[in-house]
Amino acid sequence: MMAQFELVMLLHFSRVVGQPVFYRLVQPVSLLVTTKCTVRTMSSLSEIPKSMKAIRVEKNGGPEVNVLKEIPVPQPKDNEVLIKVEYTGVNFIDNYQRSGLYNRPLPYTVGQDAVGTIVALPFSAALPSTSLPTLKLGQRVLTPVGESFAEYLVAPVGKVAPLPDFVKPEDGPAYATTAFTAAALVKESYPIQKGDWVLVRAAAGGVGTLLSQLSKHLGASVIGTTSSPEKAKIAKENGADHVLLTTDSSESNVKKLLELTGGKGVHVVYDGVGKDTWEEDFEVIRPKGTIVTYGNASGPVPPFAPLKLSPKCLKVTRPTLGPFINDPQDFALYANFIFDTIKAGGLKSTTYKVYDFSAEGVAQAQTDITSRSTIGKLVIKVA
């Protein structure tokens, strides 16, 4: 009873003085109280500032609308951790949100994946029990969610994984959104079987390099498409057995692909390019195959009637990462699959370039990723 009263007072005090001060002044006492009754409070490292730098978008537009702002450090809820960000990853989706193709309420902090250190977390009673090691204060972690172009971000405890020692921090962002996406595509959107023929579009890109590596690791024969001989070399280094250049005609590429697959076509197309490659996907897929359209690098695919699938009895799926990892158990399975595959030599990071944590650095990274000039993963060094 007494503990509950103390707790109410402490929570009230935390609201009055603000959370950072609360952590510094009151947290040792709250630790005592909350170990007695399971309540919503947290443990934290002491030096959390009140404000931080973040890249914000306040209006839709081109890369120039990214601005560096001083904003309050986010306050974690009782199921969230607070992470001090070291590196964050550049994702194509950052452009869709900034331009307005994907609706995101303004203003917002850019980004969605990070490597950093846990500086506040709920007591262990609130941490989900999964196949991942328990989260700890001061631990280096990765997450594929959160407003990450910032010095601090909050992420749900069920979507944070300790970063293994064998992963360099600057390589971590490649193993966040891009690797989780690639893993979900090869495990669930179309579960690859040994001996399958797989077509990976943009095979030298962030997701594409990892998709090719994972497909190869799972025993598939991989055909990649890309736009230059330099990128074709990268695609081959990342698991593509054959590469078709998109600078060649579609007719010639379809012919080559059918020759390679004994006239049958591929079992699955993983297509993050979208509009420009959509129709060709229907020519290269074999009967009963699966088209996984997971991105819009060249624009969204057009609406289509289900009858389009009938001649070859096809499946089309349009996945997005979120639902695959909403359950902490699923998140843990994917994290372990990624880390185990790295350990087994089946997955390596493709960090291409590290950019400054500034409005100019972010604008440059976003300009580069849409220019088709990049390979692998682009990263921002925050601290």
The footprint of ligand NAP (CB under 6 A) covers 91-93, 177-178, 181, 202, 204-208, 226-227, 231, 246, 272-273, 276, 294-298, 319-321, 369-370, 372, 374
Q: Give the span between the Cα atoms of 170 and 309, in whole angstroms.
A: 42
Task: Rank residues 75 and 227 by Cβ distance to ligand NAP and give the closer one.
Answer: 227
**Considering beta carbons, is residue 130 or 225 the nearer one to ligand NAP?**
225
Per the DSSP assignment, residues forming a β-bridge with 108 are: 57
| Residue 300 DSSP one-character state | P
Nearer to ligand NAP, 6 or 330 (CB): 330
Minimum distance of ligand NAP from residue 276's CB (angstroms): 6
| Cross-strand bridge partners of residue 150 | 54
Contact 311, 116 (CB under 8 A): no
User: Rounded to the nearest whole angstrom, what is the least distance from the CB of residue 242 to ligand NAP in the complex?
Assistant: 15
Q: Are 356 and 380 in contact (CB under 8 A)?
A: yes
Q: How far is the CB of 251 from ligand NAP (least distance, A)?
A: 18
Q: Give yes or no for a contact between 372 and 208, defined as CB atoms under 8 angstroms apart.
A: no
Which residue in the block uniquely carries the two structure tokens 């199921």?
79
Query: C-beta of 104: minimal distance to ligand NAP in Å?
Result: 14
Q: For residues 141 and 273, which CB has a smaller minimum distance to ligand NAP in the complex?
A: 273
Give the C-alpha separation, 107 to 147, whole Å: 12
Q: Tell the smallest beta-carbon distance from residue 295 to ligand NAP (Å).
A: 2
Closer to ligand NAP by CB, 201 or 267: give it. Answer: 201
Give the nearer residue to ligand NAP in terms of CB position, either 85 or 235. 235
> Would you state the structure tokens that stand for residue 242, as one six-digit string?
């054959």
| Closer of 226 and 238 to ligand NAP (Cβ) | 226
Residue whose CB is less far from ligand NAP, 34 or 181: 181
Query: Do residues 377 and 89 make contact, with C-beta atoms less than 8 angstroms apart?
Result: yes
For residues 284 and 258, the answer to whether their CB atoms sit within 8 Å is yes
Distance CA(58)–CA(193), nearest Å, equals: 45
Nearest approach in angstroms of CB 141 to ligand NAP is 20
Q: Which amino acid, residue 90?
A: V
- Measured in whole angstroms, how far is the alpha carbon of residue 369 from the centre of its chain? 15
Distance of CA 353 to the CA centre of its chain: 17
Distance CA 42, CA 118 (A): 12
Pair 115, 78: CB distance under 8 Å: no
Q: How far is the CB of 373 from ligand NAP (least distance, A)?
A: 7
State whether the Cα torsion 51-55-59-65 is positive or negative.
positive
What is the closest distance, in whole angstroms, from the C-beta atom of residue 319 to ligand NAP in the complex?
6
